[in-house]
Amino acid sequence: MDATVYKTLSNDFDSVIEAVSTGRPLVAYSNSRYSDELKELAAMLAGLPKGDGARRRPLLQSLAAPFKAALNGRAHRDDEVLQDA
């Protein structure tokens, strides 16, 4: 069989078993090398440029940013734009 390797994934048994055991998605583990490689493979298969989406802020963190800023006594970027208008 004449085939080329498209992408290899590391063996991160501990993270995979923990994800399966807890029911938590593997990609939720930010310190998992396997998770990072899986995200890279997904981006490659989707035809996205290398690194695109791999470093985006998580959705819940984005939604919580205005509240976190308010608790810390700072204006959020959206608030600053509204005040300048």
Residues 15 and 48 in one domain: yes
* Close Cβ partners of 39 (under 8 Å, ≥ 6 residues apart): 27, 53, 54
- The predicted pLDDT at position 6 comes to 82
Nearest partner of 27 among 46, 41, 45, judged by Cα? 41
Per-residue confidence band for 84, with pLDDT thresholds at 50, 70 and 90: very low
Residues 47 and 63 in one domain: no
Residues 8 and 48 in one domain: yes
Residues 36 and 48 in one domain: yes
Residues 49 and 21 in one domain: yes
Q: Count up the domains in the chain and report the number.
A: 2
- The predicted pLDDT at position 79 comes to 47
| Residue 48 backbone class (left: φ over 0; alpha: ψ -120 to 50; beta: rest) | beta
Backbone phi and psi for residue 14, each to the nearest 5 degrees, phi listed first? -60, -45
Per-residue confidence band for 21, with pLDDT thresholds at 50, 70 and 90: very high
Q: Which domain holds residue 21?
A: 1-54
Question: Which of 18-22, 27-31, 77-81 shows the lowest per-residue confidence on average (mean pLDDT)?
Answer: 77-81
Residues 50 and 69 in one domain: no
**Predicted confidence (pLDDT) at residue 23 exceeds the cutoff of 50:** yes
Q: What is the mean pLDDT of the chain?
A: 75
Q: Is the pTM here over 0.75, yes or no?
A: no
Residues 67 and 33 in one domain: no
Backbone phi and psi for residue 23, each to the nearest 5 degrees, phi listed first? 80, 10
